[in-house]
Structure 1
Amino acid sequence: MVVLADTIGAQLPRACRDMFGAVRAAAGDDVVLASHLHNDLGLGLANTLEALAAGVRVVSSSWLGIAERAGMTATEQLLFLLARHGDELLGAGATPWWTAPDLTRLPKIARRVSEETGVPLGVTTPIVGTGVGTISTGTPFVHPRLFQPYDPAEVLGIEPEVLLTQMASARVVTAVADRLGHRLDPEQTRAAMAWAKTRAFRTSTAVVDDTAFAAYLDGLTRTTRTSR
């Protein structure tokens, strides 16, 4: 086995592909190639995929990408891609495991790793981040397949959660109000949407919490009933 490493995380994908391709051609089929690629330029995963395309069959990764400096290829991201796009990445008929991984376990394992290590899960962390499955705009209500590349509930077991933010549309406001037990008419919906956007900008907090919105809706619907 020959391990090729980018321990400073400086390689670009083209250079990585050329490096592994050249060694693969020179080493012959009896040599197993392995990769160990860091993520200082945010290219650890892309470079690992290039290495796999060049014939590497042993890769280094770590949960949440935990490693020195900016870390390395994240295990959960690599597993997800191999499970969902194995034929494209490894070639048709490739068998990277005896039993395919249960992707619904990825978020649970990631949360456990986060708890044990103190490394937080970010809102925008792919696959296992706290923002996966959240909805804050109207697009998924109208064109769900244009909103995300996979269904988090079906693939990862993450149920969708509608969040009220400064980007709220009428559909988002209606959905959150329904969850809180309020049925709004069009006029109330417009008023609630304006309130949510104003509050988010005034408090410099993107997400309007349910408690504050519920209190506002109580007053809104009570005032509307009284005026009628």
Structure 2
Amino acid sequence: MVISTSKIHMQYKLKKSEEDVMRIVRDMLAYTRSLGVQDIELIAEDAGRADRRFLYQLVEEAIKGGATTVDFADTVGYKFPHEWAGFFQEARESIPGIDNVVLATHCHDDLGLATANTLAAVHAGARQVEVTINGIGERAGNASLEEVVMAIKCRGNDLLGGIYTGINTKHIFTTCKRVEELSGLPIQPNKSIVGRNAFVHASGIHQDGVLKHRGTYEIISPEDIGRPRPSNDGIVLGKLSGRHALQTKLSELGYELDDEKFKYVFWRFKALAEKKKDLCDSDIKSLLLEEKVAKASAKEAHQVHT
């Protein structure tokens, strides 16, 4: 059951007073329980902007009336993480009977803080999180399931007292891609966890680190979410790539160059990368052919001069 709790919502949307809203909640709960329903969730819409005195009184009445889950909604994505955590902490300390219900959080992403606020609420005692696949939702969207789940999986033990979700994370990638197909809402390439570039490394210093040890720049692996590892092990050759990445690619292609040849090929590689965003295997092979042609031409010129 949903009821608006902020002054702006009550005045302009519901056109109801605090007393009216309190009565509506009592009536809703009484009617629902009269139907034999035992598990009742009350969602306090726009709780992030509500007057806390009124909100706490409303929640206390809801608990007395039989609510088993109380969901505080940051409906317009207004709160910062430290505020939202403090809000939950204060609610737990101020509302009689709140320890007897499940606390839930419902966050929107208007300021890009939905995932952070959700995790802040969990840290402060929320044990139900309302999320959506790919963060799809009203306006800028809701807290993203894949982000919240993987954040808890990654940091739950050391920061959240061992909290876990029980979700099989190896189904995340296929689920997110399926929702993308069915909804027609494309996943941004730079979307965390499931975006096309989430496990792709383009910067030279990043590539060098990853080639030495993946943990230098990957805190989770594609396999954790059931995602195939990107081709070329996630290394994208381009203008930001360094010597280590090119040497690794040459070795994969079966070429071993001495220092002089490699310097020439690397110089040509950087020049080509300025013109072409991403270089493929055929581009690298063409650079090797250029190196052979250049060497042959130099040898012929030397013979003619002699």
Q: What TM-score does the superposition give when structure 2 sets the normalisation length?
A: 0.63
Give runs of aligned pairs for residues 147-186 of structure 1, distance below 5 A: 147-153=217-223, 158-159=228-229, 160-186=233-259
Moved more, 17-26 or 110-119: 110-119
Give runs of aligned pairs for residues 50-89 of structure 1, distance below 5 A: 50-89=120-159
CA distance in 2, matches of 1:186, 1:120: 45
Q: Does structure 1 conserve the Cα–Cα contact (< 8 Å) formed by 2:269 and 2:287?
A: no
Which residue of structure 2 lines up, in the alignment, with residue 109 of structure 1?
Answer: 175
1:91 lines up with 2:161 in the alignment:
yes
Q: Does structure 2 conserve the Cα–Cα contact (< 8 Å) formed by 1:173 and 1:192?
A: no
CA distance in 2, matches of 1:151, 1:95: 18
Q: Does structure 1 conserve the Cα–Cα contact (< 8 Å) formed by 2:174 and 2:227?
A: no
The 3 A distance-change label for structure 1 pair 164 and 45 is same
What's the CA shift for 1:155?
A: 6.8
1:21 lines up with 2:99 in the alignment:
no
CA distance in 1, matches of 2:252, 2:176: 28
Secondary structure in 2 aligned to 1:200?
helix
Q: Does structure 2 conserve the Cα–Cα contact (< 8 Å) formed by 1:163 and 1:176?
A: no
Which residue of structure 2 lines up, in the alignment, with residue 217 of structure 1?
Answer: 288
Which residues of structure 2 form unaligned runs of 5+? 1-68, 300-306
Aligned partner of 2:89: which letter? G
1:133 lines up with 2:199 in the alignment:
yes
Which residues of structure 1 form unaligned runs of 5+? none
The 3 A distance-change label for structure 1 pair 164 and 96 is closer
Q: Does structure 1 conserve the Cα–Cα contact (< 8 Å) formed by 2:84 and 2:117?
A: yes
Secondary structure in 1 aligned to 2:99?
coil
* Greater C-alpha Rg: 2
- Cα deviation code 1:15-68 (max 9, x no counterpart): 111211222223321122211101121111110011111111111111111112
What's the CA shift for 1:153?
A: 4.7
Moved more, 209-218 or 56-65: 209-218
Identical-pair percentage: 27
CA distance in 2, matches of 1:123, 1:221: 38
CA distance in 1, matches of 2:281, 2:213: 26
Query: Higher relative contact order at CA 8 Å, sep ≥6: structure 1 or structure 2?
Result: 1
Count of residue correspondences: 222
RMSD (Å) for aligned C-alpha atoms? 2.6
1:3 lines up with 2:71 in the alignment:
yes
CA distance in 2, matches of 1:114, 1:50: 28
CA distance in 2, matches of 1:50, 1:68: 21
CA distance in 2, matches of 1:185, 1:102: 48
Aligned partner of 2:87: which letter? M
CA distance in 1, matches of 2:146, 2:88: 23
The 3 A distance-change label for structure 1 pair 224 and 132 is farther
Secondary structure in 2 aligned to 1:134?
coil
The 3 A distance-change label for structure 1 pair 10 and 45 is same
Q: Does structure 2 conserve the Cα–Cα contact (< 8 Å) formed by 1:12 and 1:47?
A: yes
- Cα deviation code 1:111-131 (max 9, x no counterpart): 222222233333332222222
Q: Does structure 2 conserve the Cα–Cα contact (< 8 Å) formed by 1:37 and 1:72?
A: yes
Among 146, 152, 166, the residue aligned to 2:216: 146
Among 261, 273, 278, the residue aligned to 1:188: 261
Moved more, 126-135 or 59-68: 126-135
- Cα deviation code 1:80-101 (max 9, x no counterpart): 1222332345424x4643xxx3
